[in-house]
Amino acid sequence: MKKQPVTFKLTLLSLAISASFSAYAHAEYEENIAAVETGESAKKSKKKSKSKNDKTIELEAMVITTQRADSLVGVAGSASQGNVGQEQLKYRPVTRPSEVLETVPGLISSQHSGEGKASQYYLRGFNLDHGTDFLTQVDGVPVNLGSHAHGQGWMDTNFLIPEMIKTINYQKGNYYAENGDFSSTGAANIQYFSDLPEHTVKFTGGSFDYYRGLVMGSQKLGDGNLAYAGETVHNGGPWIKSNEYLKFNGVLKYSEEHGETGWSVTGMAMAADWNSTDQIPKRAVLDGSIDRFGNIDPTDGGRSDRYSVTGEWHRQDKDSKTQIMAYGLYTSLDLFSNFTYFLDDPINGDQFGQPDKRFVTGFKASHTIYHKIGKFDSESTAGLQFRNDNINNALTKTKAQQVLEITRKDDVWVSSLSPYFDNKTTWTDWMRTNFGVRFDGFRFDVSKSNVAENNGTKIDGIVSPKAGIAFGPWAETEIYLNGGLGFHSNDARGINTHVDPKSGEKVEPAVPLSRTYGGEVGVRSNWIKGLQSTLAVWWLDIDSELLFVGDAGTTEASHPSRRYGIESANYYSPTDWLTFDADLSFSKARFRGNPEEGRYIPGSVETVIASGATFHDVFGGFYGGPRLRYFGPRALIEDNSVRSKETVMISAMVGYEFNKHWKLQAEVFNLLNRKDSGIDYYYGSCLKTDTSCADGGNQDIHFHPVEPLSFRMTLSTSF
């Protein structure tokens, strides 16, 4: 209760910043709308041309940019849509690649295991686990993996190279017809550069045996351009048993542009292995059994590989636009974890393995025509998306990464076909609409299961309408109303499971597709010079469902839920060398009805505050800035009797550009050296030092600490 006045004041401040009004030309919408769909915004500049009778006239020329500072008034379809460019990313201190997604206002990326494992994500009242309900794509290729051994929607972004990112286009909410599975809280499409201005070599060294080498650049080749990047990373971490994280990662992208048409082929490859320091029980640290950076099972760890090839073709003229792409992807993961220690097996321990190997193929095509409905300007898009996952995964009981027995093992085949239609129409100089509809059809097949009763095939489909209205701009301010239906798919194994592989008892299969309902009212304003502000009030409901729990190999009941909240994103550039940003997010998540155990949804994020300042070209070449990340307390159990504490991280970067060829920069993390948690859970476990372990284990907070005060130094040269 003591924190309510602070939250109330911050909310009022957000409302005040965002509620502003000024005039804006309607014509800019028609010229800019195509740009925002690709993560770009547009500014106008004047270009002289001569007519046939030699009179000089002024034509509008497009200057395409990809920065958060660019105005999306008259362009975006909602208040929670935006883009972030490399200009913002390169001045942010980043500990791991997934943190580039924290540029999405309100999103938190954390880690509860070794650095090679997919991060844990939080957004809009959700603990998204390792990616469920937030769709991430790289150049249009989906990152989320369904029916994954460790969790539905597994989103491993460790293959990202932050310096190669041209722009991150984000859309929060389920209001966009082009986004399907895993996108109920939102989506981000990360676009890589096709052309780099120079070749760059970087070397980074830092605390806890952190080393990174990077080479990147582009070169004219034939009629096109070849962009490349390669890195190797080693990270020991502050843990008693070193992470020994080692990653090799690279990308090659060849592209050609010929007037109205263009195409590209991209190849990516990553291989990594690591030791894990999973979350540890609070009681073991308090009684001195282990250090805060210690572990219970030192043999936890993992290995992962990712290889992909993507081809795309596009064309655009004044009448239409066409985009076609196809991709192939191979991933593998061998993950070994132990979260309950000696609860199930006092002799060998509770370590389990989750191998997952898969081939993913996909196809996307869209065609947009620019036309009129009567006298009103309109554009209509028809699209088709196809995806096929051939998966071999398992859940095994292990000791020191050696298999003792197989709990379940399955061959899984998941296919989806998704046509969609979307229309954007400008009806007046102060109102435009966006209506869309999407169908998603799925086939879930499980075969060769070690439990024959769990073989089977299910087919299901779902229709998801979307709608949005934008009013304005008035005084460079717009008001948005958005709503839509969405869904997320469940694990194919859970959909076809009839027998618990551990107990042999009958269980209820999970529903194939779970419906979500979302809505939002928002405001976007540029009224104050140099300030971009958005404010959104949103809600999201999820139907009752059964979930597949990868760590247990069976299904688990879940209640229907409701989440709602308020978000404010602000970006202020008082000068061309200094910017400030402040993003505030407050959410409430509850189970609907009156569940006996309580209405709080464990782990759901409530308050996120992210703020920072960046400067560049100061005193002859200095750049950088500080950043604050506040991750508020959360209920860890349904009755809210156990809560996490807040996590406050202050980091900073400062660099100096000696000339156009050489730069030196330093990054400092956790400046206050706080002993906070990166993540907290509450559940039962059993330690060898426990005097007794009741049924279900000893209930305790299990946490993964944030890294202590640390630094990294980077020397880079460009030519």
Q: What is the tens place of the pLDDT at every residue in 360-371?
A: 999 999 999 999
597-618 pLDDT, tens digit each: 999 999 999 999 999 999 999 9
Q: pLDDT band for position 36 (50/70/90)?
A: very low
The residue written with tokens 């913002």 in the block is 88
**Statement: residue 357 has pLDDT above 70:** yes
The pLDDT, as a whole number, for residue 466 is 98
Q: CA 708 → CA 112, 142, 674, distances in Å?
A: 15, 34, 7
Rounded to two decimals, what is the model's pTM? 0.89
Structure tokens at 457: 């095939």
- Check if the beta carbon of residue 166 is closer than 8 Å to that of residue 197: no
The residue written with tokens 């950088």 in the block is 624
Would you list the domain boundaries of the chain? 4-718
**Statement: residue 25 has pLDDT above 90:** no
The set of residues, in sequence order, having a beta carbon less than 8 Å from that of 322 and lying 6+ positions away, is: 314, 315, 316, 365, 366, 367, 368
The set of residues, in sequence order, having a beta carbon less than 8 Å from that of 281 and lying 6+ positions away, is: 296, 341, 685, 687, 698, 700, 701, 702
**Statement: residue 1 has pLDDT above 90:** no
168-213 pLDDT, tens digit each: 999 999 999 999 999 999 999 999 999 999 999 999 999 999 999 9
253-269 pLDDT, tens digit each: 999 999 999 999 999 99
418-462 pLDDT, tens digit each: 999 999 999 999 999 999 999 999 999 999 999 999 999 999 999
Structure tokens at 360: 């993913």
Nearest to 250 by CA among 173, 172, 163, 325: 163
**Statement: residue 73 has pLDDT above 50:** yes
The pLDDT, as a whole number, for residue 694 is 81
What count of Cα atoms within 13 Å lies in the side-chain half-sphere of residue 11? 13
Alpha carbon 303 to chain centroid, angstroms: 22
Q: CA 653 → CA 95, 623, 660, 707, distances in Å?
A: 12, 8, 19, 17
Classify residue 593 by its DSSP letter.
Answer: S
Q: What is d(CA 242, CA 222) in angstroms, rounded to the nearest whole number?
A: 46
The pLDDT, as a whole number, for residue 324 is 98
CB neighbour burial string for 164-181, b if at least 16 within 10 angstroms, e if fewer: bbbbbbbbbbbbbbbbbb
CB neighbour burial string for 365-400, b if at least 16 within 10 angstroms, e if fewer: bbebebeeeeeebbbbbebebebebebbbbbbbbbe
Q: What is d(CA 47, CA 630) in angstroms, rounded to the nearest whole number?
A: 46
**Statement: residue 62 has pLDDT above 90:** no
In the 3-class helix/strand/coil scheme, how is 679-694 assigned residue by residue? EEEEEEEECCCCCCCC
Q: pLDDT band for position 83 (50/70/90)?
A: very high
- Check if the beta carbon of residue 74 is closer than 8 Å to that of residue 32: yes
If you average pLDDT over residues 93-103, what whole number do you get? Answer: 95
What count of Cα atoms within 13 Å lies in the side-chain half-sphere of residue 432? 25
**Statement: residue 46 has pLDDT above 70:** no
Enumerate helices (H) and strands (E) in the chain, giving the number of each. Answer: 5, 37
The set of residues, in sequence order, having a beta carbon less than 8 Å from that of 36 and lying 6+ positions away, is: 72, 75, 76, 77, 81, 83, 169
CB neighbour burial string for 182-211, b if at least 16 within 10 angstroms, e if fewer: bbbbbbbbbbbbbbbeeebebebebbbebe
Nearest to 522 by CA among 29, 10, 15, 8: 15
- Check if the beta carbon of residue 139 is closer than 8 Å to that of residue 266: yes
Q: What is d(CA 563, CA 590) in angstroms, rounded to the nearest whole number?
A: 6
208-262 pLDDT, tens digit each: 999 999 999 999 999 999 999 999 999 999 999 999 999 999 999 999 999 999 9
Structure tokens at 73: 């008034």
Q: CA 389 → CA 398, 584, 706, distances in Å?
A: 27, 37, 35
**Which strand (E) or helix (H) includes residue 660?**
none
If you average pLDDT over residues 379-384, what whole number do you get? Answer: 98
Q: What is d(CA 303, CA 276) in angstroms, rounded to the nearest whole number?
A: 11
Q: Look up the CATH superfamily of 4-718.
A: TonB-dependent receptor, beta-barrel domain (2.40.170.20)
* Mean per-residue pLDDT over the chain, rounded: 89
If you average pLDDT over residues 377-397, what whole number do you get? Answer: 97
The pLDDT, as a whole number, for residue 556 is 74
If you average pLDDT over residues 123-129, what whole number do you get? Answer: 93
